[in-house]
Structure 1
C-alpha cells in the first residue's frame, strides 16, 4: 500500500487538490474538482468513494510490457468502474469505502484497509448533488492475485459486480489493441479519466504516453484490429 504512515492521522484540510496533466484537462475531469474540506460544505449532497487498486508487476508477454496490475470491474449495468459506492449518512468516508469494497470484491478490512494516505481527489457533481471521492491504493502483487481469486466469494458478486479485470497497459504492434482499445469500452461516470489519472499519479504512464494512448484510442478505432 502507498503512504509511509498508514496509521497516522492526516488533517483533512491538508488533503490536496491533484495536479491534472494537460492531456486530461477536460471538463469531465476539472469541473467540480475541489479540496475535500471545500466539498464537505455541500452538506445536503450524497457522498460516494471509489478506489483504484494496483500492484507493481514486472515482465512482459507476447503482447507487451506489463508495467503494473491495475484492477477494474464489470458492473451490474454493463459498464466498467472501480470498487466502492455510496457512503452512509454519518459514516466516515474511508470506513464506507472499505465496507463497500469488502462487499463488492472481498477486500480485507484488516490486512490492507484503504486509509487517508491513499486519497487522491474529490469532485462535486452539482446536477446529481453528489460528492465523489477517489483513492489510489497500492498492494503487493501477491495481494492483488489473492484478491482476484477471492472476488467471486464477495457478498455482492453476481449482483453489483460481475467480475474483475486487469487493465492492459500496453499498446500492441497495430497501435490500437491493448490500452487504446480498452479505453473504448463503456465506463461509468469519470472512471476512464480516473484510470488515466491514477496511471499518471503512480508514474505507471508518463503524460506523453497518456496523450499518445488517448490519440490512438480516438483515432485508430476504425482501423483493422489485428495482432
Structure 2
C-alpha cells in the first residue's frame, strides 16, 4: 500500500486485558458459529495449542451496481487448497498475536504495517478448534474504498501471491432477482475452517447487514440452490 494513512476502524483504547466476547445474533446462534468461542484471556491458558490470526479487511461502498446494492467491499481470497478464506495465517511459537498477524498480512496481501498496523482495537473474536488443536484469532479492519482498491492492486506483488494465495475476491453482498445469485450463491462455496461464519459475523458486527437480512440470505443459500432457473 502507499504511504496514505489508513484510519483505525475504532478510535479507542484496547489491549488484551479488556477484550470482550462478541455479540452473536439469534440467526447465528448455531453450533458451527458458537462452538469453541472463548475469550482471549482463556486462550492464553492454552499453551499447548497452535495459534493463527486472520483479518477481514472491508470498506464502506454505498450505492448500487448492475446486479444489486453494493453496501461494502469485503476482501477474501482463494487459497492454495481451493477454498475461500481471510488473509492471515499461523503464528510462530512465542510470536505476539499482533506482530504475527501484521507479518502474515504483509506476506499474503502486501499489507504495510508501518502505515496502518492492525491493533487490538480491530480484534473481534477467538475460537478454539479442538480437532486441529488450534486457537484462532479474528480481527475486523475498516479502510476507505480508495485504500481498499489500492490494496487489491498491490496484492499481486505480495510475496505469497501465486503460492499460498491464488487470487483475491470481493464478496457479492446483494441478492439478485432470482433470489439465489449473489451472496446466497457465494455462501455455497467451500470455505476454510470457520471463515464462512466469520464473514457472516463481520457483516452483522459492522452493521453492513441486519440480522433479518442475514437470516434471509442463509435461507435462500440453503434452500434455493437446487431450484430451476437460478442462473
TM-score, normalized by the shorter chain, greater than 0.5 = yes
1:45 CA drift (Å): 0.6
Q: How does 1:39-118 map to 2 (within 5 A)?
A: 39-118=43-122
Structure 2 CA distance for aligned equivalents of residues 19 and 71 of structure 1: 22
**TM-score when normalising by structure 2:** 0.94
Instruction: Tell me which residue corresponds to 2:182.
Output: 178
User: Distance between the aligned counterparts of 1:56 and 1:81, measured in 2?
Assistant: 20
- Give SS of 2:156's match: helix
SS in 2 for 1:91: coil
List runs of 5+ in structure 2 lacking aligned partners: 1-7
Length-normalised TM-score, structure 1:
0.96
CA distance in 2, matches of 1:177, 1:56: 22
Match of 1:192 among 191, 196, 209: 196
Note if contact 1:72-1:166 (Cα within 8 Å) is conserved in structure 2.
yes
Helix, strand or coil at the partner of 1:88: coil
Deviations 1:85-140 (A, max 9, x none): 01111111011001001000101112222110000000011221110000000001
Aligned CA RMSD, in angstroms, stands at 1.1
Q: How many angstroms apart in 1 are the aligned matches of 2:194 and 2:207?
A: 20
Determine the C-alpha separation between the residues in 2 that align with 1:225 and 1:43: 52
1:3 corresponds to which of 1, 6, 10: 10
- For 2:216, what is the secondary structure of its paired residue? helix
Deviation at 1:13, TM superposition (A): 2.7
C-alpha displacement of 1:225: 4.4
Distance in 2 between residues matched to 1:104 and 1:149, nearest whole Å:
13
Distance 1:58 1:108 in 2: 26
- How many aligned positions are there? 224
- Contact 1:73–1:164 (8 Å) recurs in 2: yes
Q: Among residues 36, 40, 47, which one is paired with 1:36 in the alignment?
A: 40
Secondary structure, aligned partner of 2:106: helix
Distance 1:126 1:105 in 2: 28
Q: Specify the SS of the correspondent of 1:57.
A: strand
Rounded to whole Å, the distance in 2 between the matches of 1:110 and 1:224 is: 51
Q: Counterpart in 2 of 1:18?
A: 22
Say if 1:177 and 1:225, in contact at 8 Å, map to a contact too: no
- Residue 59 of structure 2 contacts residue 145 of structure 2 at CA under 8 Å; is this kept in 1? yes
Q: Higher mean Cα deviation, 126-135 or 10-19?
A: 10-19
Q: Match for residue 169 of structure 1?
A: 173
